Structure 1
Amino acid sequence: MPAPSTGDPARRSRRFVPDAGTGGTADPADLCLVVAGRRLLGGAHGPLPSVADLPAETEWVPLGSLDGARVWATGLPSVDERLGDWHSWPALAGRLGEPLAALAGRAMQVITWRRTHRFCGACATELADVPGEHARRCPACELYVPMQLSPAVLTAITRTSTAGRPQLLLVRHTYGPTAIWALVAGFVEAGETLEDAVHREVAEEVGLDVHDVVYFGSQPWAMSGPGVVLAGFTARAATQAEPVVDGREIAEARWFDLDDLPAELPAAYSISRWLIEHQRTGRSDPQ
C-alpha cells in the first residue's frame, strides 16, 4: 500500500520528485536546504529558505523538484547564527509536514553522506563526484561509491486479549526519546529479507513469535543517519503472548487497548505514528 499522507489536501497535492540532475542552475526563488552538522536552517519568510537568502558563491547540490521547481541543498562546516534560526530535523519536520519533511530529510542525508564519504576506502585518494548521481568515484582505482540505503523495519504488533479487546504492543527504549511509547524496530542484516528482520527483531527485543506479517509502507528517516529507510509492517501475536524485554534496547513493553492508547506517541509525521493510527482507526491516513 502507498505510504500514508498527512491528511491535509493541500499537502497531499504537492509532489517532491528526487533526482541528482546536473542540468540548470539555481534560481534565486528556488527553495533550498542548508545543513550544518545535524541542524537545518529555517526560512526567514517561509517554511524554508530560498537560494536568494544565501551568499552568491554558495555551492549547490541538486535534490530534485517540488511541484516542478528545482530544490537545492548545501552544507556548511558549522551553524552560522547570522543566517537565521536552526532546527533539528525532527523539529523542522514537525513544523513542515509532508512533503517538505521528506525533502528536508533528503537534504540531511545527502549532505551528511557527502561530508562523510570524501576519500576512497581502498586507496585513500580523494573521491570525485559522478555527474547526475549522488555517487562518487575514485580517480585512482576506479572504486564506485554510491549513496547506499540502510533499510530498517518497524512493526505494529496486535493481539486480541482474553476479554476480546484488540490491543497494540508499544515499547519504551533505553535511548533517544525514552518517554515515547513506540514500535519495535531494528536494522535489516545482510542476507535477510524484510520479513525475516521483523521476526528476528521482535524475538530479540520483546521475545514474541508473530504471524500474519504484512507490509504497510515506507519512509526515509533522516534522524537515524544517511540512507536510512524505514519499512513498516503489521503483525499478529497470540492472545496469551506476553513481552519479555531484552533490557538493552527496550526498557519497557506493554499491551494497550486500541481505544486507550497513551498520549506519549511518536510524532504525527512519522511512519511509526501512521502505523499506530492505522491500527486504531483502520485508515492509512492518521488525519
Structure 2
Amino acid sequence: MRMEHNYHVPVMLKECIEALAIKPAGVYVDVTFGGGGHSRAILDCLGKDGVLIAFDQDPDAQQNKIEDPRFIFVDQNFGYLKNNLRLLGYQKVDGILADLGVSSHQFNEPARGFSTRFEADLDMRMDKQRPLTAAVVLNTYAEDKLHKIFGIYGEVKNAKSLAKTVATSRMEKPILTLADFKKVIAAHIPKGKENKYMAQVFQALRIEVNAEIAVLEDFLTQTADVLNPGGRLVVMSYHSLEDRPVKNFLAKGKFRGEVEKDFFGNEQKPLQAINRKAIIADTDELAKNSRARSAKLRIGEKL
C-alpha cells in the first residue's frame, strides 16, 4: 500500500537532492524514510548499480516501502546507523540524508499523541516499542527534572512554575491524556498564545521521550566514520535545538567548545560545511507547505 502523498510532503526536496551530489553507482542512506518522498527522488537519480538504504523506526512508515531491487529498508532508529550498515555489508557510503523532526503523518494521527489538536493519551513515541511515554515523564519525573526539560527543550519561560504545578497535581490524579494535561496547566498558558505555548511544551516532552538530541549527536558522530571521502551529509532541521548540534558538528567536528587543531594549526574535523549559512525554503514552497517555514538545510562534505 502506498500512502506517501498523504503521509508527508517532503520539504526542500529539490535542494536536498542537489545537496547530495548523487553519483549514479553510489550508495546512499535516507535515515528518515517516512513517506518515502526523498527516497524516491534519490532512486530516480541512481543508476542500476546504485543502492539506497532507508531507516525508519516508525512501523507506520513500513507501509510506504519501495519495491525496487536497489532499495533496502531498515526498521531501526538512525542512532544505529553504523552497526546496521555493517550488518548489510556496507562499510562506507557516498551520501546521507536526514530530515529531522516529526512527520505530517505523525502529527495527524490522534493516537500517536504528538499533536495538541486531538484528544488522546499522552504518548509521543516515535518507536512504539519504547517504554517511555509523555505520560510516564509527567507522572514520574522529579520536579527539578521537569523544570529542566520544559526550560531547555521547550524554551518555556515559566518552566519552573509549570513543573511545580505538574508535580503537585499528579499527587491527586495521574495526568494521562491531553485533556488532563490542559486542565492541570491552564493557569500557566498565556492568553492569546495558547497554540505556541502548547507547541513548546509538547516539543519538550517529545524530545525527552525520544531522546532526540542525544540520538542526533550520536548519529552525526557516526556519519564521519561511514562517509567516503567527498561524501555528503545533508541534514534538515526544524528548530534551534536540532540545528545547533548540526551546525557545530560541521563547523568544529564537535558539539561543544572550539575546534581542535594539530601542532601546525590545522583544524581537526571530519567534515567541512558546504554552505556557510543554512539554506531555507523559497517563497513558492512556503506558500504551498507551511512546515517548510522553520526548515533549515545544512550540507557537509567528508574531508
User: What is the TM-score normalised by the length of structure 1?
Assistant: 0.25
User: What is the TM-score normalised by the length of structure 2?
Assistant: 0.24
Q: Which structure shows the higher helix fraction? A: 2
Q: Which structure shows the higher strand fraction? A: 1
